[in-house]
Amino acid sequence: MIAVIIVIVVVVVLVVVLIAGYNGLVRRRNQVGNAWSQIDVQLKRRIDLIPNLIETVKGYAAHERETLEAVIAARNAAIEAPDTPRAQAEADGLLTGALRQLFALSEAYPDLKANTNFLALQEELTATEGRVAYARQFYNDSVLGYNNKLDQFPTVILAKMFNFERSDYFEADETDRIVPTVEF
């Protein structure tokens, strides 16, 4: 009789451990998905600000067509990029580089630099960049927690049984690693 009770207790404990492990994996995976959606929201917010910025710049720097077209092309590439961390990071890098060129262009046009519309849009884009950076960090922290959970015992067994897959980090591309040159 005692042996039967011990077996039942062991089985119950194993079932509880399995349920807790599985639920932990699901919770971490959902946290990664939520963190990714926060990046997506901020990237879309930035993409939506760009047409207004371009229209403002057009009036002052119409003959800088190449720079404006580069920003438009980068924006379109960001809109069309697949919804994966790697593809979004590449598109984000192109867009960031194009926006850097556009803001550098403003230095050559004092009237543009003083335009309140341009300044407001530049400030909004700067604030959005900060939100994107925070969302990236939160996403990468979530991926770290999830991937660690996938590698830890005993959840590694459950992860393999239920086909949980590792998530990719949102990594900066080469254009984000280039230090800008400042000349006076």
Does residue 183 belong to any structural domain of this protein? no
Question: CB–CB of 78/45 below 8 Å?
Answer: no
Does residue 118 belong to any structural domain of this protein? yes
Does residue 141 belong to any structural domain of this protein? yes
CATH of the domain at 158: 1.20.1440.20
Q: Tell me: pLDDT of 171 over 80.
A: yes
Q: What per-residue confidence (pLDDT) applies to 162?
A: 94
pLDDT digits (tens, 9 = 90+) for 54-111: 888 877 776 677 888 888 899 999 999 998 888 888 898 899 888 888 888 777 777 7
Which stretches within 61-154 are classed as H helix? 65-80, 85-106, 110-114, 116-151
Question: CB–CB of 155/24 below 8 Å?
Answer: yes
Does residue 184 belong to any structural domain of this protein? no
Does residue 182 belong to any structural domain of this protein? no
Percent helix, percent strand, percent coil in the chain, to nearest 5: 80, 0, 20
Does residue 21 belong to any structural domain of this protein? yes
| Residue numbers of the domain that contains 113 | 2-177
Q: What per-residue confidence (pLDDT) applies to 112?
A: 76
Per-residue buried b or exposed e for 8-44, using 16+ beta carbons within 10 Å of the residue's own CB: eeeeeeeeeeeeebbeebeebbebbeebbebbeebbe
The total of structural domains in the chain comes to: 1
Q: What per-residue confidence (pLDDT) applies to 173?
A: 62
Does residue 173 belong to any structural domain of this protein? yes
Q: Tell me: pLDDT of 174 over 70.
A: no
